Amino acid sequence: MTGDDQWYEAAFVVGITNALNVVADGLAPTLPPLDAAAAGPEAAAVFAEARAFYGAADVPAPLAVVARDPAYLADLWGAVKRAFSERRLTRRHKTALAFAVSLTTRSTFGTAFHLADLRRLGVSESGVMEIVGVTQMFSSYTKIADTLQLTSDMADIAPADPSGVPDAGAG
Amino acid sequence: MPTVRLRDASEYPEPARRLFELSKRWFDYDFKEPPAMSRVMAWDPHFGGPHGRAMKRAMAPGEFSRGEKEMVAAAVSGANACTY
Report whether A151 contacts B6 (CB < 8 A): no
pLDDT at B40 over 90: yes
CB within 8 Å: A138 and B76? yes
What whole-number percentage of chain A has pLDDT above 90?
A: 82
Name chain A contacts of B43, Cβ cutoff 8 Å.
Answer: none
Q: Comparing C-alpha atoms, which of A79, A77, A73, A119 is closest to residue A95?
A: A119
Under the banding of pLDDT at 50, 70 and 90, the label for residue A161 is low
Report how far apart, in Å, the C-alpha atoms of A167 and of each of A142, A164, B74, B78 are. 18, 9, 16, 15
CB within 8 Å: B36 and A140? no
A105 touches B: beta carbon within 8 Å: yes
pLDDT at A89 over 60: yes
**A22, A143, A153, A154: best to mutate for the B interface, most B CBs within 10 A:** A153
**A90, A111, A114, A150: best to mutate for the B interface, most B CBs within 10 A:** A150
pLDDT at A151 over 90: no
User: Given its phi and psi angles, is residue B75 left (phi above 0), alpha (psi -120 to 50 degrees) or beta?
Assistant: alpha
Residues 6+ apart with CB under 8 A from A128: A99, A115, A118, A119
A31 touches B: beta carbon within 8 Å: no
Q: How far is B14 from chain A (nearest CA, A)?
A: 23
Give residue-wise pLDDT tens across range A47-81: 999 999 999 999 999 999 999 999 999 999 999 99
| Mean pLDDT along residues B56-70 | 95
CB within 8 Å: B58 and A157? no
Name chain B contacts of A133, Cβ cutoff 8 Å.
Answer: 54, 57-58
Mean pLDDT of chain A: 91
What whole-number percentage of chain A has pLDDT above 70?
A: 88
Give residue-wise pLDDT tens across range A15-35: 999 999 999 999 988 999 999
| Binding-face residues of A in 52-91 toward B, CB within 8 A | 89
| Mean pLDDT along residues B8-18 | 90
CB atoms within 10 A of CB A15: 14
pLDDT of residue A165: 60
Picking from A99-103, A112-116, A141-145, A157-161, which range would have the lowest pLDDT averaged per residue?
Answer: A157-161
pLDDT at B39 over 80: yes
ipTM above 0.85, yes or no: yes
Residue ranges in A27-157 assigned as alpha helix (H): 36-39, 41-54, 61-66, 70-84, 91-104, 108-120, 125-147
pLDDT at A170 over 50: no
